[in-house]
Structure formats: C-alpha cells, structure tokens
Amino acid sequence: MSRTMYDIDPAGNVITTYTGTDSDKETLRSEKTKVPLAKAVFYAFLPAGFPHTVTDDYLPYQTYDSLQAFASSITSLLANRAVLEGLGVGDSSTSPTGALILKITGDTISRIATILFAHRMGQAIEPECKFYRFLADILNDSAQFLDLLTPALPYFPKLGIIVSAGVLRSLCGVAANASKASLSAHFALTGNLAELNAKEASQETIVSLLGMLVGSLVVRLVEDKQVVWVLMMVLVGVHLAMNYRAVRCVKMRTLNRQRATIVFREWLEHNTILNPDHVAQRESILTSGRGNVSSKSGEYTGFCDFGTYSDIMSWNPRGYHRYDFETNTYFLGIWHRAGNFYMRLALKEGTTSALGAWFDAVNHAYHFDSALKDGLQSHYENEMPLGYVSDEQKDSLFSALRTAGWDLNTNALETRLPIRVRVGGDGKKGM
C-alpha cells in the first residue's frame, strides 16, 4: 500500500516528505523541504519550534530588547571613550600608575556593591522582574552620563565619579542578569530554557556587533563635547523608551503584590476575573511592588507588607490607632490615621501560600472606610463583618484564576526572606 509520511518540527513545519510502499522499501523516496535563505537565517536566532515553544509575548519583547541593545551599544562607545580620556590615554603627562589605581579602586568598590545589592535585593528581583529589568538600564545609562564627566575633572573628583559609575554598573549587572533569568523562564514553555538563553545570546551578539560598527563611525565623526552630550541624551531616550516598551509587552503569569491587588480589587468591585493579558495593560512598570492598597472610596490609602510577630505586636507609632487580630493562617496588624493606614501580615508556620492572606488584606483595605464608621473593634468581632468572603468563595476565586491562566503555585508576594510564626512549643523545629 502506497502512502506518504512526513518529518515535522515542533512547530508543525514539514522537514522531509517520504513517498513509497510499505512492502518495498527500495521504492521509498524522500524529499527535503526547501527553506528560503531569509527564513533559515531568521530561525537561526529563534528557539526551535518557534512560535509554539515560547509565549506569545516573546517576539515583541525580543524586538524591543534588540532595539534598546543597539542604542546602548553606541552610547557605551561614547562613554568608554570619555573614560579613556579621563584615565589619560593619549596624554604623555598622565601617570599610568595613577590611572591603574583609579581603575582598581573603582573595580574593588563596585564588586563589594554587587555582593551587598544581591544580598539585600536578590529575593525581590524575581517577583518584580519587570521593574528591575527597566531599573537596570536606568542605572547603566546613569553610569554612562557620569563617564562623560571624567575628562573634565581633577584626580580626586574623577575618582569619585569612576567609583560611582562602577557601583551603578554593578547594580545594573545584578538587576539585569537576575531579571532576565526570570523573564526567560516565563518565555520558555517546553523546558527549552537553556536553548532560549543560547539563542538570546546569539541575538545580543549580532545586535551588539551592528551597534559597534555604527558606534565606531559615530565616535570617529563626533568629537565636539556638546554634540556628544546631545547625542547621548537622544540615544538614552531611545534606549529607555524601547526598554519600557519591551517590559510592557510581557504578560507575567505569577501574582506579585501589584498584580494580585489589581486582580482582587477587580473581583471585589465587579466580580470579574482578569487574565494576565488584562493585568499587563494595567500594572505599573515604574514602581516596585510595595503593596499599595486603598479603600473602595479612595478616602483611605496605604500599603501592606509581610513581617514578623514582633512587627505586629510591638510597633506603636505615635498618633496612629492600632488594631490586630488572628486567623488560622496569619496575624494581621492595622494602623490608621487621617486618611492613611498601614497593614502588616505575619504568616503562621505551615502556611504554604501567602495568596489567601494577601486577598484578606486587600479585602480589609477595600472595606476600610465603611468598617471605620462601624468601629473597627466591633466590625471585626462581628461574626459576618462587612465584605466577609467565605473559604468556599475564595476557593472558587482561586480556581477561576487558575483557569484564567494564572500560576498560583509560585510565591511572588514575599520579597524578603519568608518568616513564619510558630505558635506554641519552644521554637525548636519538630517540637
């Protein structure tokens, strides 16, 4: 019996066509599909099986990311030329030892800054990867503007500028590398994270090469200091605009503080479930997730954070009214004064997800002004307080969120070391 068989790639494209009969293998004929050169080159820089092996926001992000990298390559050459001038390259009166000391001092302090920043902010980068990806380029551009100042400064101010620029670049490196790792994990759908990173490295290589070629022409033609500054401002503007558009395209599926608050508020107000596409259009890129919350009327605004048992029971700022209460999974403290309030959650040991506690905090904030009119104490002592949501309703909400495409298994709410409160015992594990 004669039939036709095909070899296909993960995207469903036919690689080879086979024709013949099952009984006579000698009649089997194969024909490879011809791929146009332009398409072959295009796919050399994209993950195998594109677009089915990555999320739908991968290509827009990479397009804008390549454009911002091109602009950054040119500004880097302008900044590096200024640094070399500042170190005395081409000036016979400048001591090589002095230039070396400047370089060593800057590198030493910048590496210390890398360790400190990674220790302090490392856990916050993944939940807020879009913010830190954009912040990284702001830090890098700021360092390049400082570089432009080095030729005009005497030795010690120059040392301060070089050190400051090195610190900014170190912070940029930590924020950029960690946030890009989180974004790559988001884009990879079929366990192809390593291959996706390899292809991204190829993209960056070709874009940087083009940027260096254009930048080499620019640095040769542009010598006037004022023109350099104007050109830098234009290129940095393009760089930041493209980077902003890139992270704006990303539709994260994890619920960090900002996204969770947007989703929960929409459900409380309109009983509507937002999917990652909707929330990506609403969330702010320019602010990290501090946990800003507000009441339904907007009369009261404040923020919520996670902390320890001591934070709730011992913190008593002057002029604030305080209330705290306990559930099966967490302690919650509320402080309020003149239109402002502050909320602090302390999760109990054994609580695997902070999402339920965060929903309750957003719900409390949403009904805060109405609860104040009833009196907070009597409001929360009521068996069915205003805005009460049962466990069954919350389970139904979380089930709907999973159906809408949200990843509820990844904890993106706690941006510091997760602390849990052990109730009873002597504090030792297993007791």
The DSSP string of 305-354 is EE--HHHHHH---TT-EEEEEE-SSEEEEEEEETTEEEEEEEEETT---S
Higher pLDDT, 319 or 256: 256
Task: Give the pLDDT confidence score for residue 172 in this predicted structure.
Answer: 94
User: What's the pLDDT at 275?
Assistant: 96
Which CATH fold would you assign to the domain 58-249? Growth Hormone; Chain: A; (1.20.1250)
Chain centre distance of CA 21: 55
Q: Each residue of 165-208: pLDDT tens digit?
A: 999 999 999 999 999 999 999 999 988 899 999 999 999 999 98
Whether pLDDT at 354 is above 60: yes
- For residue 304, is pLDDT > 70? yes
Tens-digit pLDDT profile for residues 79-118: 988 887 876 665 555 556 666 777 788 788 889 998 998 8
User: What span, in angstroms and rounded, lies between the C-alpha atoms of 387 and 364?
Assistant: 8
- Alpha helices, H only, 222-288: 225-249, 257-270, 276-282
pLDDT attached to residue 287: 80
Q: Using CA atoms, how far apart are residues 69 and 87, in angstroms rounded to an integer?
A: 26
> What average pLDDT is seen over the chain?
86
pLDDT at 430: 43
Q: CA 377, CA 365: separation in Å to the nearest integer? A: 15
Say what the pLDDT of residue 382 is.
Answer: 62
> Under 8 Å CB-to-CB from 192, ≥6 apart: which residues?
47, 48, 49, 53, 54
254-136-110 Cα angle (round to 5): 125
What is the C-alpha separation between 118 and 181, in angstroms, rounded? 14
- Residues 125-175: pLDDT tens digits? 999 999 999 999 999 999 999 999 988 888 788 888 888 999 999 999 999
CA 116 to CA 170: how far, in whole Å? 10
**Does 381 score more than 80 pLDDT?**
no
Say what the pLDDT of residue 431 is: 35
Nearest by Cα to 258 from 297, 285, 296, 298: 285
Task: Give me the residues paired with residue 16 across strands.
Answer: 7, 32
- In whole angstroms, how far apart are CA 243 and each of 42, 131, 204, 286, 338? 22, 11, 14, 12, 39
| DSSP-derived secondary structure letter, 302 | E
Write out pLDDT tens, residues 216-269: 999 888 888 899 999 999 999 999 999 999 999 999 999 999 999 999 999 999
| Nearest of 337, 400, 130 to residue 248 by alpha carbon | 130
Nearest by Cα to 161 from 171, 173, 149: 149
* pLDDT tops 70 at residue 385: no
For the chain, which residues make up each domain, given as ranges? 2-34, 58-249, 254-421
> Can you spell out the DSSP letters for 59-100?
HHHHHHHHHHHHHHHHHHHHHHHHHHHHTTTT-TTS-HHHHH
User: pLDDT > 70: what percent of the chain?
Assistant: 88
Q: Does the structure show a pLDDT above 90 at 74?
A: yes
How far is Cα of residue 72 from the mean position of the Cα atoms in its chain?
20
Question: Each residue of 263-303: pLDDT tens digit?
Answer: 999 999 999 999 999 999 999 998 876 788 888 888 888 88
Report whether pLDDT(25) > 70: no
Given its phi and psi angles, is residue 333 left (phi above 0), alpha (psi -120 to 50 degrees) or beta?
A: beta
What one-character DSSP code corresponds to residue 28?
A: -
In the predicted structure, residue 388 carries a pLDDT above the cut 90? no
SS3 at position 255: strand
| 2-8/254-256 β-pairing | unpaired
Kind plus residue range of the DSSP H or E element containing 291: none
